């Protein structure tokens, strides 16, 4: 019955295994069909952001379903199927920019309920399907730029009620209809690239309001259909909207007419970017916006084809302009170009003027009637020299009295004293930027306006600093010079930037009693500690990374406490910027992860404790060895070996001479001098003198009588023991306390191992037990326990028996 049960169990188990294998095989087959071509992408960080860009994927890779951001840009993905993104319900941002997408399944994005950012730009989508966005109710940013679709089609964005940034258009967009942007009511930013737009229904973009910023590319309409361009501009022009036009040509008197609709709607902020224009178009444009309350006028990446003859528009009124910017201007006919001075009627009232990277080598001195309200002047990245800057700033004439900020960085300036002299008259100047210049030295004293608070001399060639700095400074930037030291007192300084220099140590904090921020990155600092920061009484933020740190114990412990917020100052740069340069085995390691051993951190303490412990253990070991008589054994082994060697030498001499018998005495008597009277008065007469019973006298060896003078005493003892048949120990308390008696006992003790226990005869002059014998004489103590010894009788009648027993013992009877 049990066999049947076992057989049935095995059959059931086998059937279940077969079913399981079939199910696994089917599942594997399904996987290979649906996801066999999908490769995994495992480049996800702790913030669940997966960067799978530039990886050559031809299909959407598999990622964790917990991913929040997925970057698939610059791959070779051509198709997105229904299941490629299924399960990524937590995804917030999806970037498919720069692929080869030509087909997206209508339900591909249905599971992305949390998606807020979607980038489909620079692909091959010829048709946009509204079903892609039907489930994306949380979408806030959508980019459809540079795809080959010619129209938007039916309302794409009707359900995107949270959409705030929309970018669409491309090289073949030809048509925009009224209902194309149905559902889009307000946007923070709108970008439309329609350089080849042919048809536009008026009002197609007018429903988007409020509209924060709009960027339009209308190259074709500006050249061939000014009315269409005007219609588009009119629909997106509001006083609150910043209008940006890019990638167009403003040539001829008709191009400027497209702005009349915007002018009527009182537009206030306008930017022209990446455009070319002629003198005639500039004049026409200024006439069109005459009286329009424009407050911001920016001209970026502008190519000027004329000669700067714009004086025909000098009658126009542009007093509302508050900010005027020219950046990256290129003059094609530079030798015939007059100057930007022809635009001086635009510079009467602005508070902020910037002429950046426009090859300006001189700006003629402006009279006091112009720039009366100027507070911000940026002439960076031009060709101004010390001489031409003197002319531009009118060489100390009373102009620019309201100027607060002056930026002349990136110009080939060389004399810091010239700069300081020219800005002294600017009595309201608070910020001065003269960085990226050619200053190599600094005068000992300089004059500055008393209002100067911010000074930037970074990326120059300074090797030393002097007291040239104004005492009123609150922010000083000396980054990326060749400075090794800083010893200038600045009592009001709050921020000091010294990164990219050659500092070996922190400057003295007592020079800056109010300093709150210090940046000293990328120098030659090796280490710093609490003592270096104690002089900075108000320091709150510190940046000291990217130095070659020596990771000593004190430095590592101090820095790790700072990284954890344990100090008065807070490290505001990344933990990863603090890396060890030495010792070699820690090179490249982040200081925050370094763990040093006690041996490395407390060498003196470790050595002291180790020596103390070693001394204690040595002392304990010595005590233990002393208690176990190891020293005695070692000493006696050495003495025995030494004496044994002498004995062997004597034995060889005896064998050679054959003149002396090996045994010379019947007994060697070991006794204490205090017991000599007993030996001389009782023992010697009784044993060496002839007795009445006609027995032959015995020969005894006594140290007083028979030791050879001038020989090593241990040698005498060893020789006497070896030349005697027996060794007689006259034991008493005097014997135990005697050093020489102990030597004789010691040598006898070793001799017992060679001659056996019968070689020793013990005579007790007074009552003793084995406990009175030192413990290290274990053999003798054992003999006293196991061998009969003789006791000197106190009664006269018993002494005859004592002598008879002693004689028998000495003769071996």
3-state SS, 183-197, equals CCCCEEEEEEECCCC
3-state SS, 140-183, equals CEEECCCCCCCCCCCCCCCCCCCCCEEEEECCCCCEECCCCCCC
- Check residue 648 and give its pLDDT: 64
Comparing 22-36, 154-168, 695-709, the range with the smallest average pLDDT is 22-36
Same domain, yes or no, for 673 and 540?
no
173 inside domain: no
Check pLDDT > 70 for residue 607.
yes
Please give the C-alpha separations between residue 675 and each of 522, 531, 670, 705, 766, in angstroms, as whole numbers. Answer: 92, 78, 10, 15, 11
**Coil, strand or helix at 256:** helix
Same domain, yes or no, for 429 and 515?
yes
585 inside domain: yes
Q: Among 556, 580, 597, where does a domain finish?
A: 597
Query: In terms of residue numbers, what domain contains 715?
Result: 665-811
Same domain, yes or no, for 714 and 586?
no
Contacts by 700-707, CB closer than 8 A, 24 or more apart: 700/665, 700/666, 700/667, 700/668, 700/669, 700/728, 701/664, 701/665, 701/667, 701/668, 701/669, 702/669, 704/676, 706/665
Calculate Rg over the CA atoms of the chain.
54
690 inside domain: yes
Same domain, yes or no, for 687 and 784?
yes
161 inside domain: no
282-330 pLDDT, tens digit per residue, is 999 999 999 999 999 999 999 998 888 888 888 888 889 999 999 999 9
Please give the C-alpha separations between residue 519 and each of 33, 82, 554, in angstroms, as whole numbers. Answer: 58, 52, 22
Same domain, yes or no, for 708 and 792?
yes
226-259 pLDDT, tens digit per residue, is 999 999 999 999 999 999 999 999 887 778 889 9
Q: How many angstroms separate the CA atoms of 719 and 701, rounded?
A: 11
- More confident site: 672 or 235: 235
- Check residue 792 and give its pLDDT: 86
449-501 pLDDT, tens digit per residue, is 999 999 999 999 999 999 999 999 999 999 999 999 999 999 999 999 999 99
- The two structure tokens encoding residue 724: 């005697």
Check pLDDT > 80 for residue 51.
yes
Q: Among 566, 581, 597, where does a domain finish?
A: 597
Same domain, yes or no, for 590 and 669?
no
Check pLDDT > 60 for residue 568.
yes
525 inside domain: yes
Q: Is residue 204 exposed (0-12), middle (13-18) or buried (19+ Cβ within 10 Å)?
A: buried
Same domain, yes or no, for 588 and 686?
no
- More confident site: 24 or 49: 49
- Check residue 170 and give its pLDDT: 95
Check pLDDT > 70 for residue 14.
no
Q: How many angstroms separate the CA atoms of 272 and 246, rounded?
A: 6
CATH value at residue 671: 3.40.50.10140
Check pLDDT > 70 for residue 188.
yes
Q: How many angstroms separate the CA atoms of 278 and 260, rounded?
A: 19
- More confident site: 370 or 155: 155
738 confidence band (pLDDT: 50, 70, 90)? low
Same domain, yes or no, for 559 and 482?
yes
Q: How many angstroms separate the CA atoms of 555 and 568, rounded?
A: 16
Same domain, yes or no, for 676 and 591?
no
548-559 pLDDT, tens digit per residue, is 999 988 899 899
Computed over every residue of the chain, the mean pLDDT equals 84
67 inside domain: no
Same domain, yes or no, for 543 and 424?
yes
- More confident site: 16 or 796: 796
DSSP state of 492: T
Max mean pLDDT range (219-233, 391-405, 709-723): 219-233
| Arithmetic mean of pLDDT, 494-512 | 95
**Coil, strand or helix at 296:** strand
H and E: helices and strands count for the chain: 20, 34
Query: Strands 69-71, 93-95: parallel, antiparallel or unpaired by DSSP?
Result: parallel
Comparing 60-74, 229-243, 326-340, 361-375, the range with the smallest average pLDDT is 361-375
Check pLDDT > 50 for residue 333.
yes
- Check residue 138 and give its pLDDT: 95
Comparing 71-80, 565-574, 641-650, the range with the smallest average pLDDT is 641-650
Same domain, yes or no, for 461 and 566?
yes
- The two structure tokens encoding residue 173: 């967009």
Q: Model pTM? A: 0.71
Same domain, yes or no, for 591 and 669?
no
34 confidence band (pLDDT: 50, 70, 90)? very low
In terms of Cα–Cα distance, which of 515, 518, 592, 597 is closest to 549?
A: 592
**H or E element in which residue 283 lies:** helix 279-288
Per the listing, tokens 């709607």 go with 265
665 confidence band (pLDDT: 50, 70, 90)? confident
Q: Among 575, 597, 619, where does a domain finish?
A: 597
Any residues with CB less than 8 A from the CB of 236 and at least 6 apart, and which?
Answer: 190, 205, 206, 208, 211, 214, 216, 243
481 inside domain: yes
749 inside domain: yes
DSSP state of 368: T
Q: How many angstroms separate the CA atoms of 216 and 230, rounded?
A: 12
CATH value at residue 469: 3.80.10.10
Please state the φ and ψ torsions of residue 549, each to the nearest 5 degrees.
Answer: -85, 140
How many structural domains comprise the chain?
Answer: 2
Max mean pLDDT range (189-193, 314-318, 386-390, 678-682): 189-193
- Check residue 230 and give its pLDDT: 94
Check pLDDT > 70 for residue 718.
yes
């Amino acid at each position: 019955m049990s066999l049947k049960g076992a057989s049935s169990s095995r059959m059931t188990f086998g059937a279940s295994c077969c079913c399981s294998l079939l199910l696994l095989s089917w599942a594997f087959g399904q996987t290979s069909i649906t996801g066999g071509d999908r490769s995994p992408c495992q480049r996800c960080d702790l913030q669940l952001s997966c960067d799978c860009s530039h990886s050559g994927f031809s299909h959407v890779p598999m990622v964790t379903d917990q991913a929040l951001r997925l970057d698939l840009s610059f791959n070779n993905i051509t198709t997105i199927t229904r299941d490629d993104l299924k399960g990524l319900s937590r995804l917030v941002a999806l970037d498919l920019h720069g692929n080869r997408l030509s087909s997206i399944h209508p339900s591909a994005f249905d599971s992305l309920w949390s998606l807020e950012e979607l980038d489909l730009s620079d692909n091959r989508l010829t048709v946009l399907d509204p079903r892609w966005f039907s489930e994306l109710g949380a979408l806030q940013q959508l980019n459809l730029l540079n795809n080959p679709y010619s129209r938007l089609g039916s309302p794409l964005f009707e359900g995107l009620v949270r959409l705030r940034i929309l970018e669409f258009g491309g090289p073949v967009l030809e048509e925009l209809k009224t209902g194309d942007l149905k559902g889009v009511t307000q946007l923070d930013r709108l970008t439309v690239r329609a350089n080849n737009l042919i048809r536009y229904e008026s009002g197609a973009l007018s429903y988007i309001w409020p509209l924060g910023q709009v960027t339009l590319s209308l190259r074709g309409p500006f050249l061939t259909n000014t009315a269409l361009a005007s219609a588009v501009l009119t629909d997106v022009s509001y006083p609150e909207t910043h209008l940006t036009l890019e990638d167009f040509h403003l040539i001829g008197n008709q191009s400027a007419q497209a702005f009349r609709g915007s002018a009527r709607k009182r537009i206030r902020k306008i930017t022209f970017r990446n455009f070319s224009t002629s003198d005639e178009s500039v004049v026409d444009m200024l006439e069109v916006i005459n009286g329009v309350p424009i407050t911001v006028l920016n001209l970026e990446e502008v190519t000027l084809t004329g000669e700067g003859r714009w004086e025909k528009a000098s009658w126009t009124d542009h007093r509302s302009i508050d900010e005027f910017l020219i950046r990256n201007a290129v003059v094609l006919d530079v030798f015939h170009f007059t100057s930007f001075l022809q635009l001086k009627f635009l510079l009467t009232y602005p508070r902020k003027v910037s002429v950046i990277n426009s090859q300006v080598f001189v700006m003629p001195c402006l009279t006091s009637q112009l720039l009366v309200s100027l507070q911000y002047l940026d002439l960076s990245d031009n060709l101004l020299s010390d001489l031409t800057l003197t002319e531009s700033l009118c060489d100390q004439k009373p102009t620019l009295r309201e100027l607060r900020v002056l930026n002349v960085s990136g110009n080939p300036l060389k004399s810091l004293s010239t700069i300081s002299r020219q800005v002294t008259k600017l009595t309201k100047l608070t910020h001065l930027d003269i960085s990226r210049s050619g200053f190599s030295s600094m005068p000992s004293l300089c004059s500055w306006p008393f209002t100067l608070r911010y000074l930037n001399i970074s990326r120059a060639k300074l090797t030393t600093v002097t007291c040239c700095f104004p005492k009123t400074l609150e922010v000083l930037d000396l980054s990326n010079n060749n400075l090794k030291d800083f010893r200038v007192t600045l009592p009001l300084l709050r921020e000091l930037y010294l990164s990219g220099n050659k500092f070996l140590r922190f400057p003295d904090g007592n020079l800056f009693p109010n300093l709150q921020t210090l940046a000293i990155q990328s120098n030659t600092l090796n280490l710093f500690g609490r003592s270096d920061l104690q002089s900075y009484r108000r320091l709150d933020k510190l940046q000291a990374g990217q130095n070659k740190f020596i990771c000593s114990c004190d430095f590592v412990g101090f820095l790790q406490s700072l990284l954890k917020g344990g100090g008065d100052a807070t490290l505001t740069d990344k933990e990863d910027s603090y890396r060890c340069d030495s010792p070699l085995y820690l090179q490249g390691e982040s200081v925050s992860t370094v763990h040093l051993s006690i041996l490395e951190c407390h060498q003196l303490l470790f050595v002291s404790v180790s020596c103390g412990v070693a001394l204690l253990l040595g002392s304990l070991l010595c005590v233990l060895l002393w208690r176990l008589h190891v020293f005695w054994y070692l000493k006696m082994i050495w003495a025995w070996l030494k004496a044994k060697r002498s004995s062997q030498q004597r034995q060889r001499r005896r064998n050679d001479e054959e003149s002396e018998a090996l045994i010379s005495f019947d007994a060697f008597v070991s006794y204490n001098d205090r017991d000599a009277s007993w030996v001389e008065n009782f023992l010697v007469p009784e044993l060496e003198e002839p007795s009445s019973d006609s027995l032959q006298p015995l020969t005894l060896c006594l140290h007083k009588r028979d030791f050879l003078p001038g020989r090593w005493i241990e040698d005498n003892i060893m020789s006497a023991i070896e030349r005697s048949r027996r060794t007689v120990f006259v034991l008493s308390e005097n014997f135990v306390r005697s050093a020489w008696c102990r030597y004789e006992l010691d040598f006898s003790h070793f001799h017992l191992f060679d001659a056996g226990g019968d070689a020793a005869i013990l005579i007790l002059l007074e009552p003793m037990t084995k406990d009175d014998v030192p413990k290290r004489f274990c053999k003798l103590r054992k003999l006293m326990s196991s061998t009969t010894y003789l006791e000197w009788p106190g009664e006269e009648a018993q002494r005859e028996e004592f002598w008879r027993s002693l004689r028998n013992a000495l003769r071996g009877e």
